[in-house]
Amino acid sequence: MEIRQETREFWERAGAAKTFTHPLDPELLDAYLPRDVPVLDYGCGYGRLTAELVAAGYADVRGVDVSRALVERGRREHPGVRIEHWAGLPLPFEDGSFGAALLFAVLTCVPGSGEQREIVAELGRVVRPGGVLYVSDMPLQRDRWDVARYEAYADRFGTYGVFGTPDGGVFRHHEPDRLRGLVRAHGFTVEAERTDPVPTLDGRTAERLQLIGRRRG
């Protein structure tokens, strides 16, 4: 099954109406993301966090998403916030254009391993040496309900942790070491990490993993 096409169609249709819930962590922002550096919010959706960063005093923030429908929604909901549609990679930015990049609940929405590597590698290109990659995503959950759906979809998608939802979405939860490895393999040193419970798109609560990567150079 071609996960890529199925995922893209979902975020142009049913996914474009969803209310995102994955929150910023003010303590990590204050500790690792200076407010005077250019920030990229990759996979910004309708710009919810992009707008929050602007409101928090970040002077130069830009959001990018592959979904045209989500970007159009974001421009309606957050006029004046820079949100751009860009369907693929590479991104239209020079090497080292940003002092920080956010990757918030994006890898869970891009279940293909190759696509995930391409995304993190591209962020490694556009974040300058000494800059920060702030990742927040969903590790494998241990409760019975999640384990049951991982097992139910494992044969269909070929990867444990990838699962479908009734409205046509395809998502992925990850081994924590895989998330750390993605960050490290593409030019970043993990300087900090934190886990905490967060609300999910389907109204439940799940554990997330936050990673702060420092761009080597």
pLDDT tens digits along 89-113: 999 999 999 999 999 999 999 999 9
pLDDT tops 60 at residue 3: no
CA geometry: angle 89, 6, 134, nearest 5 deg: 45
Residues 127 and 91: their CA atoms lie apart, in Å, by: 12
Q: What is residue 13's DSSP assignment?
A: T
Confidence of residue 4 (pLDDT cuts 50, 70, 90): confident
pLDDT tops 70 at residue 2: no
Average pLDDT, whole number, for the chain? Answer: 96
Domain over 3-138+176-215 is classified CATH 3.90.1150.10: no
- Domain locations in the chain as residue ranges: 3-138+176-215
pLDDT at 71: 98
β-bridge partners, 62: 40
CA geometry: angle 46, 163, 167, nearest 5 deg: 55
**If you average pLDDT over residues 143-166, what whole number do you get?**
96
**If you average pLDDT over residues 23-46, what whole number do you get?**
98
Q: Please name the residue ranges forming H helices in the chain.
A: 3-12, 26-32, 48-55, 68-77, 113-126, 144-157, 176-185
